[in-house]
Structure 1
Amino acid sequence: MHPRDLLNEALAGLLARPVRSALTTLGTVLGITTLVVTLGVAATAGNQIVGRFDELTATSVTVEVPAHTFPLVEWADVSRVTRLRGVVAAAALAESDLGANLVVRSNDVVDPARVTDQTLTVLSSSPGLPAAVRGRMVEGRYFDAGHVARGDRVVVLGQQAARLLGITGLARAPAVFIGTRAYTVIGVLGDLRREKSLASAVILPPTAGRPYGLGTVTRVLVDTALGAADLIARQAPAALSPGNEALLQVLSPPSPTRARDAVQSDVNALFLILGLVSLVVGAVGIANVTLVTVMERVAEIGLRRALGAARRHIAGQFLVESTLTGLIGGVLGASVGILVIVGVCAVKQWTPVLDVRLAFMAPAAGAVVGLLAGLYPALRAARMEPVNALR
């Protein structure tokens, strides 16, 4: 039997009952659409998550400075880090057990009707802290090198600490008391995107923090450009403490590529099952309808066999019919899936990410599903004896 004749017969069988063929194809369309949408949305979502991961985490490098017999990092050493290519901002912090829970009050007057004492964390930092933690001064200003050099008794409060102490404005130069020492509040730090614990902290210049054991650097926070974190993580210890870099511990973010692959793999594994279930349902529909078609065309099969058609011709006709059904469903499903992905990305203002190979593999997958679904009905039709079929 010529392949062209076989194809014509298969098309004639499909077009003889167009509504049934359309409903049969719909199962494959839904299955392929689900697969394409699943893989496309998974890749797009993974890309978006990694973009947020890059923005908030992959640009942050922290250098931990352990306690030593001599200061491993001086306050002025931070300026060497800022000169490294790829560093956006850097700041040093000094934290101590003594400053972890200090009583801070907003005035020195005992008022029985109002609680003015708060237990807050007191720490010291270098002037570049707001940029290093991606925060902003919601009130006033941050202390600068002049305050540090003069030893001014000034303080910057985290936004939550200011609220706890009842400080709502800086117009009257309010002061806070740490023990018996008074410090003028010159600014309120808020909108922190990193180191959110600083929102409830009291931040002193290095010279003012020495009475509380805050004269030695314990941490250096570095904000880097995208893609520069790995390089800065290797260079920062040598820049901060040449010759002692092995004593410093660097905390750098994991690779964004590994994070993206992990996210995409997890999302794929979660939703791929749904696509496979839909595809199986479509395959069962094709097999069921093809089997019904075989039973309805018993007389036709008997006549063809009586006129000389071999078993392979009968089996081939029904296999081609089911394969065409799956192929059409695959083409339509891939098209609908791509449109759905583009539509979702347009609504969410995402950049669509889709493997081009998927658009070509989806129709092939539909054809394979149709071929497998038509195996049993085709074999059953091929095994019919002409006499029994005609009878």
Structure 2
Amino acid sequence: MTALAYAPLAPARMAPGDVLRVGAAGLRTRPTRALLSALGIAIGIATMVAVVGISASSREQLDRQLAALGTNLLTVAPGRTVDGTEARLPAEAEAMIARIGPVTAVSATATVGGVKVYRSDRIPKAETNSLSVLAARVNLPQTVGATVHRGAWLNGLTGRYPAAVLGAEAAARLGVGRPSPQTEIVVGDARFTVIGVLDPVPLVRALDTAVLVGWDVATDRLHFDGRATTVYARSRDDQVEAVAGLLSRTANPQAPGTVMVSKPSDVLVAQRAADATLDGLLLGLGAVALLVGGVGVANTMVISVLERRAEIGLRRSLGATRGQVRTQFLTESLLLSALGGAGGVQLGVAVTTGYAAYQAWPTVVPPWASAGALAATLVIGALAGVYPAIRAARLSPTEALAAP
């Protein structure tokens, strides 16, 4: 009688669809625990996405404002002389700066010293509201990007008479809400009619706390000497650096070292450096929240292994290999993390959209932020699921079935 030899059957391979179904079954049997673990991941991902999205939205708003105002505004002001006294710009500074080829617009303001501003002549002299009085050229708004909130700006006619335009903060301090022919303030010893109120001027904050009067009336009634203290120049965008290098010796050829030249981009560099530092801090907080979520996933999977030892033993007895058990638990961990990641991205986008709408900003969520967040959750899920998966695979069928 011939003996028959039987070759051991190779274990069947699980199709990708079967792997997903088996992994999802483990989550469905414990929905509350899975939901809480996914929520931990979602909070971390939402924090990351919201931080990046809000930062990107604020930068987009800033870029739009600067695009409207222009980043080619240069400011010329007097500095200090060698002996430490305050320098003065020559009377011809504006005209000389206007002759520079790439310069497209020039305007100026001048501080009228020794003049105080009061809402009425009954206000105590000590209550000056810390406001400055500036003589202003008629073309100042076009040059510095200022806009009139209410009323009108100075023109060739009103600039000769006691008429004033208030900066946004100056109007608030004086209690002037709406300019009119009956609205008057006291500038020095003279009454001026308020004909306009400006919106905040982002590029020239000094205008917000100023009372602006015409150049001619400042000379006639406020004992102004006619010399500009600040000159604003616009240049072609591709010539900003070149013009900045010429301004000091053009404004004051005799003493260029006493002239200070600045541009808004200097402030923007500092502001964006601060934004980058803040982004790093908030991203660090998001990473901590993400780590907490990962620990929650790992804890859920370890407990799942302990609770399902009988199931693991039964599967091993029916022919499941160590690799298939490992794949099952690793798939559960990845599905749990993916669920939390997808919810976190949606939550982060919703938070960004709501905050941007509240601030009247455009909503910007960079695609790399969402993609990176999902990738981070999968990495966290894989790392958190490796140990529980290996532990489950190492259980022998007899040991698992004997467990209480």
TM-score, normalising length: structure 2: 0.67
Match of 2:362 among 335, 347, 351: 351
CA RMSD after TM alignment = 5.0
> More deviation in 30-39 or 51-60?
51-60
Match of 1:191 among 198, 202, 224: 198
One-letter amino acid matched to 2:51? T
Alignment correspondent of 2:400: 389
Contact 1:6 1:317 in 2 (8 A): no
Task: Name the CA shift for 1:127/1:237 in 2 (closer, same or farther; >3 Å).
Answer: farther
Q: Secondary structure at the match of 1:208?
A: helix
CA distance in 2, matches of 1:87, 1:291: 70
Contact 1:127 1:142 in 2 (8 A): yes
Q: Secondary structure at the match of 1:101?
A: coil
Task: Name the CA shift for 1:170/1:100 in 2 (closer, same or farther; >3 Å).
Answer: same
Alignment correspondent of 1:44: 57
Aligned positions of 1:140-289 closer than 5 A: 141-142=154-155, 155-157=162-164, 159=166, 190-191=197-198, 193=201, 194=204, 195-196=206-207, 199-200=210-211, 204-205=215-216, 208=219, 212=223, 214-222=225-233, 230=241, 232-237=243-248, 240-241=251-252, 245=256, 247-255=258-266, 258-259=269-270, 261-289=272-300
Deviations 1:226-277 (A, max 9, x none): 8976565345445545676555221222347635643542442343344334
Task: Name the CA shift for 1:347/1:188 in 2 (closer, same or farther; >3 Å).
Answer: closer
- In structure 1, the gaps of 5 or more residues are 108-112, 148-153
Q: Determine if the alignment matches structure 1 residue 101 to structure 2 residue 114.
A: yes
Task: Name the CA shift for 1:360/1:146 in 2 (closer, same or farther; >3 Å).
Answer: closer
Q: Percent identity, aligned pairs only?
A: 28
> More deviation in 21-30 or 194-203?
194-203
Deviations 1:322-367 (A, max 9, x none): 1232234323433453455445545654322232222322222111
One-letter amino acid matched to 1:90? S
Aligned positions of 1:119-130 closer than 5 A: 126-129=137-140
Question: Once the 2 structures are TM-superposed, how far is the Cα of residue 63 of structure 1 from its aligned partner?
Answer: 0.8
Aligned positions of 1:125-140 closer than 5 A: 126-129=137-140, 131-132=142-143, 134=146, 138=151
One-letter amino acid matched to 1:191? L
Alignment correspondent of 1:151: none
TM-score, normalising length: structure 1: 0.69
CA distance in 1, matches of 2:48, 2:360: 22
Contact 1:81 1:240 in 2 (8 A): no
> More deviation in 258-267 or 28-37?
258-267
Match of 1:90 among 107, 113, 126: 107
Contact 2:109 2:136 in 1 (8 A): yes
Q: Determine if the alignment matches structure 1 residue 65 to structure 2 residue 78.
A: yes
Match of 1:81 among 85, 94, 98: 98
Alignment correspondent of 2:371: 360
Q: Determine if the alignment matches structure 1 residue 25 to structure 2 residue 15.
A: no
CA distance in 2, matches of 1:8, 1:170: 82
Q: Determine if the alignment matches structure 1 residue 296 to structure 2 residue 313.
A: no
One-letter amino acid matched to 2:22? A
Alignment correspondent of 2:8: none
CA distance in 1, matches of 2:348, 2:390: 33
One-letter amino acid matched to 1:363? L
- In structure 2, the gaps of 5 or more residues are 1-10, 82-86
Alignment correspondent of 2:18: 8
Contact 2:49 2:345 in 1 (8 A): yes
Contact 1:126 1:206 in 2 (8 A): no
Question: Once the 2 structures are TM-superposed, how far is the Cα of residue 290 of structure 1 from its aligned partner?
Answer: 1.6
CA distance in 2, matches of 1:362, 1:345: 20
Q: Determine if the alignment matches structure 1 residue 314 to structure 2 residue 321.
A: no
Q: Secondary structure at the match of 2:219?
A: coil
Q: Secondary structure at the match of 1:374?
A: helix
Task: Name the CA shift for 1:188/1:199 in 2 (closer, same or farther; >3 Å).
Answer: farther
Deviations 1:289-332 (A, max 9, x none): 22232123212323444566554543343223212322343234
